[in-house]
Amino acid sequence: MRLYFSIAFLIRLVASANYTDYPQKFFLETLFLNEIQQGGVADGIKFHCYTVDNEDSFLLKLNVEATADKLLLRYPLVFILHGWMDEGTSDWVQGIQMAWRRYQDVNICAVDWRKFAGQDYKSAMLKVFRVGNTVVQMIRWLESYRNVDRNDIILVGYSLGAHAVGYAGSRLNGQIGEIIGLDPAGPLFTMPYDVGHKYRLDESDARFVQVMHTSAGTLGTDKKCGHADFYPNGGSSPQSNCIYPANENEENKNPIGCSHSSVVKFFKYSLNPNNLYIGWDCSNYKHFKLGLCRWNKMSRFGIHSERRKGNFYFSTLTNAPYVETKRTKDDLP
């Protein structure tokens, strides 16, 4: 991921933006609304897909039946969307595609929207609606041509991609089976003020929405976005693997950028059923650390989730897979 060199820019962007008065709020919401009204399919977006039986990826193309015929729709259909300054062929995206197929039979497509994600942040942010709409068009065509069931679709989005899948889910009336939001972007969505559920990921966008926060209040949003929100180490920067000297093993040494990108690592390792990314429902991380939530309900993050609702807190380790492989309530401090 190439996000690390833009951290300072994003911080300055949020700090300098004055959207607290009504005219500025109205201006930003007008920009969002104009993008939504333009609609249409965004040119240049590619769907890199794998199936259970296909070790080589193929391009799924809208209205090209021969490409859709390759999907094995007796298995779930997954779409993964990357974030800003990133691309659908990044190592982390391909790593998730490979790991997911190792532990579950799925069709899995990386939605490569680098053409827009590589623009300045404000421009890329505004394009998430067009990107989301492109995913919607693909799903609707697959419904028509291959009789795809929306309940068998999972949308995964990282950073700006989380809001793109949220918009796609809302366009499909919240009928998608599941959305997994990976540290949804905060700047100009919930910082310096919250633009509202109409323009960002929220629990109405799918039958079940689960979210993991790893840089809340900086690059990621600090707002609850799902039915189940998970907060490793409190959900904010720095994550345990991003503190010196642990971050010497990280590509991104910046604690904020490292924490933001840690969510994709946590998600990848959570795909392994032996890695128990389990949180305890709690009012805040301080109460969790004090052991005040040890008898509250627990829930698991990721594809092995029990789909319980709440705000779930847990701590991680400094090295992969970042959690213990076996955990019980007795592991609480």
Which residues are marked as active site? Answer: 159, 183, 260
| Whole-number Å distance between alpha carbons of 35 and 37 | 5
Q: What is the dihedral of CA 84, 211, 156, 324, to 10 degrees?
A: 100
CA distances from 261 to 67, 80, 212, 265 (A): 32, 15, 11, 7
Peptide bond into 76 cis (omega under 30): no
CA 204, distance to chain mean position in Å, is: 16
Per DSSP, helices labelled H in the chain are 7-16, 22-38, 65-68, 91-103, 114-117, 121-146, 160-171, 255-270, 285-289
Q: Which residues pair with 27 in a beta bridge?
A: none
Which tokens hold the place of 170?
């809302």
| Whole-number Å distance between alpha carbons of 286 and 219 | 22
